[in-house]
A and B are shown apart, each in its own frame.
Chain A
Amino acid sequence: MALNRDFYKAVEDVLGPEYISDDPVVTESYSFPIRAATAGPKGEYLPRFEAITLPKNTREVQAIVKLCNKYKVQFKASSTGWLYSDPAGPDCIKIDLRRMNSILEINEKNMYAVVEPYVIYAQLQAELMKRGLNCNVTGAGSNCSALPLAAHVNLGHLSQTGSYGERNQLALEWVTGDGEIVRMGSLGSSDEWFCGDGPGPSLRGIIRGNTVPLGGLGVFTAAAQKVYHWPGPPTFSIEGVCPHYSPSELPPGFMIRYLSFKTVDAMIEAVRKIGESEIGFELMGFNAAMMASNVATDNEEDLRYFKQFSDQVQGPGFMVNIAATSQRDFKYKKRVLEMIMEQTDALSLKDVEDPKLGAGFLWRFIRTVGSIRETSRATGWGGGTVGGTDVFPLMTRYIMYTVDLKQELIDKGMILDDAIYPFVQSIEHGHTGHGEILIRYAPTNAEQMDNIQGFLNRAANKRAIEGRFGVPQHVWSDELHDMYGPEACNYHMLLRKIKKTFDPNGASESSNYITAKDV
């Protein structure tokens, strides 16, 4: 469908001709998926965006959104952009926030940072570390937007001490679906970003819930987030040439281990004890396959490491590291960890104890750079299923309750056999937890994908509901909200009212969030 030329001209007047394009070469490059094998059942591709826009600031975003409402054009905004927020209907434009890339403030005294959407976590973390601070980094990687609301749930490797998006979110600047600028929290009554709840309007429960709206509720143009104490060096001195990077040694006060356990119960107990004693800096329930992918620099090496690590683990496990503020602190934390290992019969993976290899693991986990290797290197395609965020044992048991589904796919040769242990992670020293099953496979056609990902989705959703495990964090459509809503206090009705209130014309394309149908 051709875009209304008056609309195009009006946006062009706002941005300048250099920052809007409806040329097929440009719109095609924003397409998803790119390979025929992953297109729809009849080989069809999703509709392309009608145009791509590149605003520089909130005023320009607002102007685009208002024009979209006026001309009945939908928009979808994104920043660094992993795949799944991109599919769009016809008559929809893209707001690419790439030019909004400033760190607006790092407030060392009050420990928060304010960023625009296209600052990536690697940049923010690097600047924070120089100031003795650190931030949570979304688990997808430090290549992703540092805006806590841009990054799905925003859980990450650092969530043990650095929490996640929902809890780190402070003041926010938001262009609603109908083009109003809302300054949330303290920003609503002053120029200060220190608080998400006031003085000023507190809308934290509006702008996100179980997950973020995935571009379906307007545009978040800047946000503040909590930052945390960083006991490590201002920079890591990294040796080697790509891809063989590694710190020369573990910084003083740091230690990393990969622990495996004979039973899930033993692992849960170890997580509880580490949380209770608050000795863990990061605690991420990787399995042997993810540890192998993290360290390996190619797929061949990945398979070798996987075998090597698999031979050394005794069951489910996790990576834990320690970051101490003093020698005394380090001795204490190390001793406590050793006691917990003893009490839970934990087995430490010897390769991770190697100072050089361990230092590499440590930095990759802190900077969060292994995620692409872990999820995408095998074939460039993967998937899986995710749980929600609730108490750690419940989330662990939920995800363990679904692992036989993965086993079924492995047994049929439909996915990579990288063992079935899911990864589970601890948040805020075990206050809550989260689990996921990752699968990797080579896509060949829509039917095969439905037999893999579709099967997994359907079965995992059924079990989540039947087992009363709460709402998972992959609920990204009307269909799924309609399925989960009646099981969870009809939350979807409220969500639709929110959508209707803040986006009355449905301009903010929300196929990955929820529509205001029936409201």
Chain B
Amino acid sequence: MALEDLRNEMETCRRCSACKFIPLEKVDNYEHVNVCPSIARYDFHTYSAGGRMVFAVAKLEDRIDYSDKLLEVVYNCQMCGACDVSCKYAMDMEVMEPLYEFRIRCVEDGQTLPALDKVINSLRKQGTMVPGAKAKRGAWAEGLDIKDVTKEKVKVLYHVGCRTSYDKDLWKVAKATVSLLSKAGVDVGIAGAEEVCCGGRAYQMGYKDDFLKQAEQNLETFRKSGAEILVTSCAEGYQAFKVLYDKYGMQPDIEVLHITEYLDRLITEGRLKPKKKVNMRVTYHDPCYLGRLGEPYIHWEGREIPGHIRVFDPPKEFRRGTYGVYEPPRDVLKSIPGLKLTEMDRIKEYAWCCGAGGGVCDSNPDYAMWTARERISEAESTGAEAMVTACPWCEKTFDDAIRESGSSLKLYDVVELLDKAV
């Protein structure tokens, strides 16, 4: 939907500032009331979803034009979707859609940031969203006994994702995943060097055409694999396959699961039995793209019925983060003997972002680090000795922030802890 078509959504903003805070029913202390990293960091209303609605309308009306400042504001946003949830607690209007469409318009008009162009050039030339990566895609699996889906049929296709593939520090997660799936007797394979980027991050950055190209390639890989289930341990990959592809009418003919969903299923079916104690007090960080933005896409076509209340024909169900993936990772953690899960103030649909999303880790690493440090501080306040997450982008960003800040907080992926217990 073009930005022009979202004008009424943007103009419905009442400037109540709900987009800046966690849903107000859930506030139970002074701290951790902010939900949007961008307004929390930069303070001007401009950086909130409400401010973004206003200047987007102004841009449509040519009251403002492209400028360095405009691009700085547009791209200093992780596209984490927290504003969308908090707004829609009370309102019936789209918030994330205009944010996506504004970026897409920027790219169409050639208004981008060099740092993001570099990432996209990396995608176009090297096939990865990790520019300058030294490793080769699929190298993480060298020496592992795992099927190659380009050569043989499997039931489960494991998509590893750019971040894990090209970051040797994260290979342990991919290896633990394969280890667990093998222990459960799952017929699993990977595309190895033939795996391609999901395109989700490109979409977040506004490069819609690049996203669509990646989607087409992936659909072909999925089709050829003959697999029944697609599993990924990357939250952004999950959201791309499950939500974005569907949004553009490219829903894969394969069941898409995040690894935590699949492991939870395997545990429930008794195919994985966590028995070894992992004596640790942990807190869980909900990745934005697995949680609130991971809820299924809801297709709707129709019209707004003219009148004094916004209702639609046929009725429109707004996505509000209600059906994101929140419980499976928690259920997996709760299945681990000896492990104690303690929750942070901002969780599930109103979780604070890790800082990496929307290309911010490339366009403004300092801001990404600031956002991550905020979360680390919140995790520390729970008394947990470790923070657990379920996305390599989160893990990478937190790892950098922990190193930088000298925090003693340990960091794990859910998969790693389960692997210790099985």
The residues of A with any CB-CB pair to B shorter than 8 Å are: 19, 21, 23-26, 28-32, 34-37, 45, 52, 54, 80-83, 96, 98-99, 103, 119-120, 122-124, 126-127, 130, 141-143, 235-236, 238, 241-245, 297-300, 302-303, 363-364, 367, 369-370, 372-373, 375-381, 415-416, 440-442
Contacts and interface: CB of A to CB of B under 8 A. Distances in A.
B350 interface: yes
Interface string B321-358: 11110100000000000000000000011100000000
B33 A122 contact: yes
Residue from the set A124, A302, A364, A378 with the largest chain B CB neighbour count within 10 Å: A378
Nearest to A363: B25
A14 B379 CA distance: 35
Nearest to A31: B54
A255 B12 CA distance: 36
Interface stretch (B44-52, B129-137, B251-259): B44-52
A300 B18 contact: no
Contact of A25 (B73, B86, B324): B73
Contacts of A375: 14
Contacts, number: 198
Contacts of B17: 80-81, 143
Contact of B308 (A45, A302, A440): A440
A300 B92 CA distance: 10
Contacts of A83: 14-15
A416 B324 CA distance: 34
A442 B307 CA distance: 7
Contacts of A377: 90-92, 310
A82 to B, nearest CB: 7
A36 B307 CA distance: 18
A130 B309 CA distance: 39
B29 A376 contact: no
Interface in B311-329: 311, 315, 317-318, 320-324, 326
A106 to B, nearest CB: 10
A372 B309 contact: no
A298 B21 contact: no
Contacts of A303: 309, 311
6 contacts: A31-B58, A34-B10, A37-B11, A123-B33, A299-B311, A416-B308
Contacts of B53: 34
Contacts of B27: 122-123, 126, 142, 367
A141 B24 contact: yes
A413 B309 CA distance: 12
Residue from the set A25, A99, A122 with the largest chain B CB neighbour count within 10 Å: A25
B55 A28 contact: yes
Nearest to B65: A24
Given A245-B23, A245-B25, A380 B14 contact: yes
B309 A416 contact: yes
B91 A26 contact: no
A372 B91 contact: yes
A28 B308 contact: no
A298 B63 contact: no
Interface size class of B (residues with CB under 8 A): 35 or more
Contact of B91 (A23, A120, A380): A380
B46 to A, nearest CB: 4
Interface of B: 10-18, 21, 23-30, 33, 43-46, 50-55, 57-58, 61, 63-64, 67, 69-70, 73, 85-86, 88-93, 306-311, 315, 317-318, 320-324, 326, 348-350
Given A142-B24, A143-B17, A126 B69 contact: no
Given A30-B45, A54-B44, 9 more contacts: A29-B46, A29-B50, A29-B51, A122-B24, A130-B29, A238-B25, A241-B322, A243-B23, A377-B91
A29 B89 contact: no
A36 B61 contact: yes
A376 B16 contact: yes
A241 B25 CA distance: 11
A242 B24 contact: no
A379 B12 contact: yes
Contacts of B73: 25-26
A440 B63 CA distance: 28
A245 B17 CA distance: 20
Contact of B92 (A141, A299, A364): A299
Residue from the set B27, B52, B54 with the largest chain A CB neighbour count within 10 Å: B27
A378 B13 contact: no
A244 B322 CA distance: 8
B65 to A, nearest CB: 8
B90 A373 contact: yes
A29 B28 contact: no
A116 B315 CA distance: 43
Residue from the set B90, B322, B323 with the largest chain A CB neighbour count within 10 Å: B90
Nearest to A443: B11
B57 A369 contact: no
A52 B309 contact: no
A245 B26 contact: yes
Contact of B93 (A130, A244, A302, A380): A380
Contacts of A119: 30
B91 A52 contact: no
A26 B69 contact: yes
A226 to B, nearest CB: 19
Contacts of B323: 241
A119 B55 CA distance: 26
B45 A29 contact: yes
B18 to A, nearest CB: 5
Given A120-B21, A235-B28, A378-B309, A23 B67 contact: yes
A130 B46 CA distance: 34
A200 B390 CA distance: 58
Given A143-B21, A379-B12, A379-B308, A28 B58 contact: yes
B54 A380 contact: no
Nearest to B27: A122
Residue from the set A103, A124, A244, A380 with the largest chain B CB neighbour count within 10 Å: A380
B69 A127 contact: no
A440 B309 contact: yes
A366 B309 CA distance: 27
Contact of A21 (B24, B44, B61): B44
A115 B390 CA distance: 39
B57 to A, nearest CB: 5
Contacts of A242: 23, 85-86, 88-89, 320-322, 349-350
A123 B73 CA distance: 28
B39 to A, nearest CB: 8
Given A25-B69, A242-B321, A303-B311, A376 B91 contact: yes
B322 A25 contact: no
